Structure 1
Amino acid sequence: MPLYSKKSKEAYIMVNFKRSFRDLIKNKDWKALKQSLNQFNPHEIAQFINDLPEGEDVILFRLLNREQAKETFRHLSHENQEHIIEGLAQHIHKLSDLLNDLEPDDRTAFFEELPGKVTQHLIQLLSDEERKIAMQLLGYPENSIGRLMTPEYVAVKPDFTIEQVFAHIRQYGKDCETIDSIYVVDKNWKLLDDIHIKDIILASPEQTVSELMDHRFVALNAMDDQEMAIRVFKDYDRVSLPVVNADGILLGIVTFDDIMDVVEEESTEDFHKFGSLQEPIINPLKASTFHLFRERIFWLAALLFVNLFSGAVLSSFESVIQSVVSLVFFLPLIIDSAGNAGSQTASLMIRSLATGDVHLKDGYKLVGKEFIVSFLLGITMAIGVAAIAKFRSPEIIYIVALTMVSVVMIGSLIGLLLPFIFTKLKLDPATASAPLITSIADILGIVIYFSLASHFLGF
């Protein structure tokens, strides 16, 4: 009950603040507005800024102190981040402070979404040290782990005593994203081990770091794809992981919150691809009508031409349809079942490929298993459709039952194979989207249905 009351109170404060915000701006009561902002955490402020109209969001952001601005900026949508930067263009010192204060990995994620010339201009506002870090991170391939890492971590030498480690943490740990793990390196900065902070806290002050080392650590390679980092974090359940180069030199760390951002981006991207959208749409409320039209028209038009084959196939069976009109009654049911079965299987395979649960070499095993599963599904659905046909059109009961088994099996196998084919061709398996699978299954379903009808009915 107290938790509920606290949440209700926070919501009430936020609503009142939203109501009074425009009045405070109108009256130019900046002091009162700035004091009001201290009641909210950065995440709440970011949510509020995301909902503000253009102009007012910049006004509010400028009132934040440096620490608030840094934390709030990382919670904003990319669209609003760009707008804030544009709004601060006339306030170079404020903009420079913001960019220098941002965590290197958050800043890199923001920079890589901007046009090259804009990024070059903003990099010039960084201090020499931060500019060097930014250029280093941006030098890694797009979607590589190197783009995610931050160079802000705590590293110690094996001969440090625990007392020296704590002194080192107090001196250098303030600006680190996390001190959950302390990294052990040699004089050339080659990673030797990582030690959980809990083990350091529980150790005696006189003990040395080498006494706590077990040399069993997990590290990421800076050049590997970000999806590799997702799998490693999932397998080892870590808050952060070190990043090394090919020689094992410690370059930085990747934290769990950065991985969660990648997971969200990957999920959004796959979701849009599976729906045959060309690019992820940031916000349909804010996107222009033409942008929404452009995102959807390409695949719809392409699939329209694919579906012309369905019409061509139907026209070739006109005589069968005219003679046995009852065949048309079951047509939507049959072709929809094929598409649905294919989409189900494709969703499972795309997810499994993305998480690393299955690999290309597993394709042959899965085909055999899917053949059995789809056969059982087809038999079950055939019994259902045969029961309907018994009362509706008993003369075609065997045709619709046999067709149902065939289309469910074929649709399922298409849904299984397409993601593997796209992966083999170095394409994103999410491109094997539901509309594409459905269109292929529709054409094959019509061919199978009316071919069987022609055979059994003697046409």
Structure 2
Amino acid sequence: MQNASEAGDKPGSGTGDLSLERAPDIVEAMNAHEPDKAAALLRSLPTEKAIEVLDLPGLANTCEIIAELPSETAVALLSAVSDDRAADIFKELVEPLRTTLLNGLNPETRTVILGLLAYPERSAGSIMTTEFVSVPSTWTIAEVLHHIRMVERTRETVYSIFVVDPVTKTLIHAVPLRRLISGDPHANVLTAAPARKPLMIAPEADRMEAARLISRYDLLAVAVVDGPGHILGIVTVDDVIDAIVQESTEDAQKFGGMEAIDEPYLRISFGEMIRKRAGWLCALFLSEMLTATAMQSYQSELEKAIVLTLFIPLIMSSGGNSGSQATSLLIRSLALHEVRLRDWWRVAARELPTGITLGSILGAIGIVRITLWQTLGLFDYGPHWELVALTVGAALVGIVTFGSLSGSMLPFILKRIGFDPASASAPFVATLVDVTGLVIYFGVAAVILRGTLL
């Protein structure tokens, strides 16, 4: 137990008893160990504390830890954690352990978990909990409060009470607990209900839709109902936070030009790291080969005006940067439903003048830079340096404008064909703009420098 005590110590706590720590701190300590050691730590905790720890999604290698536990211990813990958390764990367990532990659950719990597992991944149904408080509309406030006291320990949240029709069992109202506490105990529960209709969501809806409802209306939970209006479960604010963190992590990884990773960085195996990163890196590398092809097409121009090569990195990076900016803005706006697919033309109408203005600013800076270097004697760009400066300035206007337009439209295209807009990663956009940027650069040079350097 010495290792367990050391893992649980906190600066200034003065105690080595891990069971006295808060569950998130215990999770952090367990994440520092291999699964077998973490399982030993979990078994050393009091049952209630072990359940609280296992209920936290931040616990790494949960399935491996479960596999290290005796079957009866694992079944007891999985039976006691919240149903949605148990479903998440069973989703990741491998056979035959998955079936063995499922069969060990009581029939009611097993039915609930199998029902949750049947919902599509990333749907509201897949993250909802079935442990909520519902009462018939015929009860008084006193009866409801008594019922809450009786079932509180078996419910994930009691801050929202859902009132259903006693005959049809359909959802009628959602009543905040604070309104019940301040209401007349002898009055009907509906007297404490807000005048507005309850918000609800279908189980097949995207989980981020539940997040938007909770965020927009400042809810603690939103009801998940079937077609007739029977309440199947609730999505709580903590479920939404976990989903947002996962979605944001995956989007950040995709935007960096790699596949999403669902494990902590230090827990990813070397082979998995290579597999997740190599595919995208190879695809981007092959795409960048088009840049070499484009430069080969302008080989004669480069031989005649070698000074143009000095500005190729400047030209390519400026277009890629403007495209990445636009892509970042639109991916976030699409995710938050600030813009929709039908708004693509409005976005294009905004990005076109924006790109021209930004390109003009960068073009002006480029012209000033060439002029200063030439007049101060820092570098000689040749007898036609004014035309070279004009070429760089004009090319920057075209490239930054194209980068802004293509970067803003790419998320729309991906979403329209059914892909995650986050796949429009910054490296992908930069690669696209690199190739087209060279074409624009040398096209502008061919027009401006014709008869002089070309």
TM-score, structure 1 length as denominator?
0.90
Q: Does 1:99 align with 2:91?
A: no
Per-residue CA deviation, residues 288-325 of structure 1 (Å, 9 max, x unaligned), is: 22221111111111111111111111112122222222
Q: Does 1:428 align with 2:420?
A: yes
- Contact 2:137–2:190 (8 Å) recurs in 1: yes
- Tell me which moved more, 99-108 or 164-173: 164-173
In the alignment, which of 204, 211, 217 is matched to residue 184 of structure 2?
Answer: 204
Could you tell me how far apart the structure 2 residues matched to 1:277 and 1:209 are? Answer: 52
Counterpart position of 1:65: 46
- Tell me which moved more, 108-117 or 48-57: 108-117
Q: Does 1:291 align with 2:267?
A: no
Letter in 1 for 2:421: P
In the alignment, which of 236, 255, 259 is matched to residue 236 of structure 2?
Answer: 255
Q: Does 1:239 align with 2:220?
A: yes
> Post-superposition shift, 1:118?
4.2
Q: Does 1:151 align with 2:143?
A: no
Counterpart position of 2:250: 269
Counterpart position of 1:442: 434
Which aligned pairs between 1:294-309 and structure 2 lie closer than 5 A? Answer: 294-309=275-290
- Contact 1:50–1:76 (8 Å) recurs in 2: no
- Contact 2:174–2:198 (8 Å) recurs in 1: yes
Counterpart position of 2:346: 365
CA 1:256–1:275 in 2, change beyond 3 Å: closer, same or farther? same
- Contact 2:27–2:59 (8 Å) recurs in 1: no
SS in structure 1 of the partner of residue 154 of structure 2: coil
Counterpart position of 1:453: 445
In the alignment, which of 193, 214, 232 is matched to residue 173 of structure 2?
Answer: 193
Question: What root-mean-square deviation, in Å, do the aligned CA atoms of Structure 1 and Structure 2 show?
Answer: 1.7
- Contact 2:63–2:92 (8 Å) recurs in 1: no
Report percent identity of matched pairs.
32
Counterpart position of 2:399: 407
CA 1:52–1:400 in 2, change beyond 3 Å: closer, same or farther? same
> Post-superposition shift, 1:117?
5.0
Could you tell me how far apart the structure 2 residues matched to 1:281 and 1:176 are? Answer: 28
Counterpart position of 1:25: none
CA 1:69–1:191 in 2, change beyond 3 Å: closer, same or farther? same
In the alignment, which of 125, 148, 172 is matched to residue 151 of structure 2?
Answer: 172
Could you tell me how far apart the structure 2 residues matched to 1:419 and 1:255 are? Answer: 30
> Post-superposition shift, 1:236?
0.8
Could you tell me how far apart the structure 2 residues matched to 1:413 and 1:215 are? Answer: 43
Could you tell me how far apart the structure 1 residues matched to 2:209 and 2:58 are? Answer: 25
Per-residue CA deviation, residues 348-370 of structure 1 (Å, 9 max, x unaligned), is: 10011111111101111110011
User: Can you give the 5+ residue segments of structure 2 that lack an aligned partner in the other structure?
Assistant: 1-8, 375-380
User: Can you give the 5+ residue segments of structure 1 that lack an aligned partner in the other structure?
Assistant: 1-8, 18-35
- Contact 1:274–1:431 (8 Å) recurs in 2: yes
Which aligned pairs between 1:46-61 and structure 2 lie closer than 5 A? Answer: 46-61=27-42
Could you tell me how far apart the structure 1 residues matched to 2:159 and 2:37 are? Answer: 39
> Post-superposition shift, 1:455?
2.3
Per-residue CA deviation, residues 101-121 of structure 1 (Å, 9 max, x unaligned), is: 110011112222334654333
- Tell me which moved more, 265-274 or 74-83: 74-83
SS in structure 2 of the partner of residue 271 of structure 1: helix
Counterpart position of 1:33: none
Q: Does 1:133 align with 2:125?
A: no
Aligned residues: 430
CA 1:277–1:116 in 2, change beyond 3 Å: closer, same or farther? farther
- Contact 1:46–1:76 (8 Å) recurs in 2: no
Counterpart position of 2:370: 389
> Post-superposition shift, 1:206?
1.4
Could you tell me how far apart the structure 1 residues matched to 2:150 and 2:246 are? Answer: 35
CA 1:294–1:147 in 2, change beyond 3 Å: closer, same or farther? same
In the alignment, which of 163, 179, 189 is matched to residue 142 of structure 2?
Answer: 163
In the alignment, which of 87, 97, 100 is matched to residue 121 of structure 1?
Answer: 100
Could you tell me how far apart the structure 2 residues matched to 1:293 and 1:167 are? Answer: 57
TM-score, structure 2 length as denominator?
0.91
Letter in 1 for 2:26: I
Counterpart position of 1:316: 297
Q: Does 1:13 align with 2:13?
A: yes
Could you tell me how far apart the structure 2 residues matched to 1:162 and 1:353 are? Answer: 43
Counterpart position of 1:23: none
Counterpart position of 1:20: none
SS in structure 2 of the partner of residue 367 of structure 1: helix
- Contact 1:226–1:262 (8 Å) recurs in 2: yes
Could you tell me how far apart the structure 1 residues matched to 2:146 and 2:181 are? Answer: 13
- Tell me which moved more, 108-117 or 245-254: 108-117
Letter in 2 for 1:199: R
